Chain A
């Protein structure tokens, strides 16, 4: 083999080697190009251990869901200021779960992601394993427009699919209520968003719970699918909810006084309907 051929072969091998290495992902962040005319601050990155220092009084719930990093940036123009935080969670489910605890009554839409909540106070969205919060500190039109520009730029940069919710929440009767859909993974999320359920979860540390609210006012009914980590936890939940002897074979157990229907599926899985429509929803829940 000539020297030239050997060099070409070595170059080819080197190229193949470099191409086969996994790309080092750049942190998702804002750049000056995203917000022309604005001064975009240097990103500050915090790990799970550092999160307590970054979010005083709010870190634990992120850790409960599973959190890797947050990249925080400020952007300013004259007297206008916004804060952008990009949370990288352990997976899309964790990001969706956190999103579901943070969203309130949402207004405008944000193209490019199915899960977003735009209000005058905040733009919040999740896509893939990312959860993004952009807060316009003042509520001027300039700052809100800049916040929307920043959100669009970040959405476009995420090459991951939207989180897809599991059955039965993709189908009727719950599919129309995805705006209220929540995913909870532990007691902190429970404390934050479903305080009424807390006594039933006493002493249970980990679970996977999807929850929607159907109807409102007098017709408000909550539906939940809860996967416990052990049979013991499922037994405990049923006992604390006052429905201790629900077994997989018995089908729905009904407490008419409390408008409550509960069904067990296997050892660890429980379905709950709680509210005035529980009878109707029971028959429609496949």
Chain B
């Protein structure tokens, strides 16, 4: 059996050498001292890229559609037909179109390769539902996007498979993850290099002045250590548009929805960022053009979600919310989702009231012009189906 350790050490050495000679990288930090005592990052570099007409918050800033259907979940399982109808209504309401195909064409066109960014991190119990994903694929097909141009993606390919996002379940659709293993379960190729190493794009990196070490035992699939988190090639090269499909979940007294799903799903070397820079990462990584200019639509799968114990799946706190939220503006969608989750936490006695800490990352994201965080300026359109 080949030594994984040797291969891993070799790879990390190679990366370190790459970093030393990295003056050619466009996003290397220059003087990145944080003035406010916070951990420094290269956010200023990201903000220099000119915005485009489709940059976040996209076509409908501040508009969030909230579709509720009490018959959408039976015995804890989403009902496919209801999920499809809910998504159709959400899209038509968001775009003010009558025909769902026209609604989708506000965001995608034939020729696009559309990435569906799902969230499988909490396992079978609390992932983006296969039913909502099915509905999105069928409606994309109706709008002229063939299945071969649809990619279901996330950071870890094996988590996609474990939660049902397989080639058998979604024939014709590509299933892709940045961190991946082969059929024998190895994360390394014949040369001892991580498969995932070929799936990151070193031209795009989120730099932050913090580090963490990984080894074979802790997180064998982590692609690199150091102060750079590289963007996935799935985002920078493989797809032209991204539809974001997070799950309605809490993260302590905050939420893990659109921004978190994008930020932590699109880059490598993320474990180092959780403690010192959770909010910053959520708000800053989506400022980089591969996300800012490609994410056209956010659909929060709130058929089933949680109000406590998230982002992992703690079964006793998983509840049917019977909802889908949709909008082009990830900040506004997150804010509406936050209000729903916090209301549930208050109802269940988990907390007494909203805490500004829970929405600090949204205020930060709004400051970077990714969307609207002020509830007074958000148009929250509610649709009640049953």
B32 within 8 A of A: no
A121 x B316 contact (CB < 8 A): yes
Query: B221: which A residues are within 8 A, CB to CB?
Result: 53
Q: Are A195 and B76 in contact (CB under 8 A)?
A: no
Say whether B12 faces chain A, with CB atoms less than 8 Å apart: no
Which A130-180 residues sit within 8 Å CB-CB of chain B? 133, 135, 137, 139
In the complex, identify which listed stretch (B38-46, B117-125, B224-232, B365-373) lies at the interface while the others stay far away.
B117-125
Q: Is the CB of A213 within 8 A of B349?
A: yes
Interface size of A by CB at 8 A reads 36
Q: Contact check, A52 vs B271: say whether CB atoms are below 8 A apart.
A: yes
Given contacts A139-B76, A196-B355, contact A53 B122 (CB under 8 A): no
A11 near B: Cβ within 8 Å? no
B159 CB–A CB distance under 8 Å? yes
What is the CA–CA distance of A278 and B358 in the complex, to the nearest angstrom? Answer: 28
The CA of A50 and the CA of B221, in the complex, are separated in Å by 12
- Bound together, the chains give a CA A57 to CA B252 distance in angstroms of 11
* A-chain residues with CB within 8 Å of residue B75 when the two chains form the complex: 139
Alpha-carbon distance A38/B233, docked complex (angstroms): 43
Q: How large is the interface on B (under 10, 10 to 19, 20 to 34, 35 or more residues)?
A: 35 or more
Q: Which residues of A contact B144 (CB under 8 A)?
A: none
Write the B291-328 contact mask toward A (1 if CB under 8 angstroms, else 0).
00000000000000000111111111110000000000
Instruction: Provide the B207-226 mask, 1 if CB < 8 A to any CB of A, else 0.
Output: 00000000101111100000
Q: B315, A121: Cβ atoms under 8 Å? A: yes
A57 near B312: Cβ-Cβ < 8 Å: yes
A137 to B355, CA, bound (A): 34
Q: Do B311 and A195 have beta carbons less than 8 Å apart?
A: no
Is A119 a contact partner of B315 (Cβ separation < 8 A)?
Answer: yes
User: Within 8 Å of chain A (Cβ to Cβ): is B109?
Assistant: no
Name the prevailing secondary structure of the B interface residues: loop
Task: Encode contact with B along A223-245: 1 for CB under 8 Å, 0 otherwise.
Answer: 00000000000000000000000
Are B316 and A53 neighbours in the complex by a CB distance under 8 Å?
no
Residue ID in chain A nearest B221 by CB atoms: A53
- Say whether B57 faces chain A, with CB atoms less than 8 Å apart: no
Residues B308 and A192 in contact, CB atoms below 8 Å apart: yes
A286 to B345, CA, bound (A): 32
Q: Which residues of A contact B318 (CB under 8 A)?
A: 121
Asked if residues A124 and B345 are in contact (CB atoms below 8 Å), the reply is: no
A53 to B159, CA, bound (A): 11
**Cα-based distance from A135 to B355 in the complex (angstroms):** 32
B355 with A198: CB separation less than 8 A: yes
Docked complex: A42-80 residues within 8 A CB-CB of B: 47, 49-50, 52-53, 55-58, 60
B309 to chain A, nearest CB (A): 7
9 intermolecular pairs with C-beta atoms under 8 Å apart: A49-B217, A50-B218, A53-B218, A53-B219, A55-B312, A102-B309, A121-B76, A135-B125, A196-B355
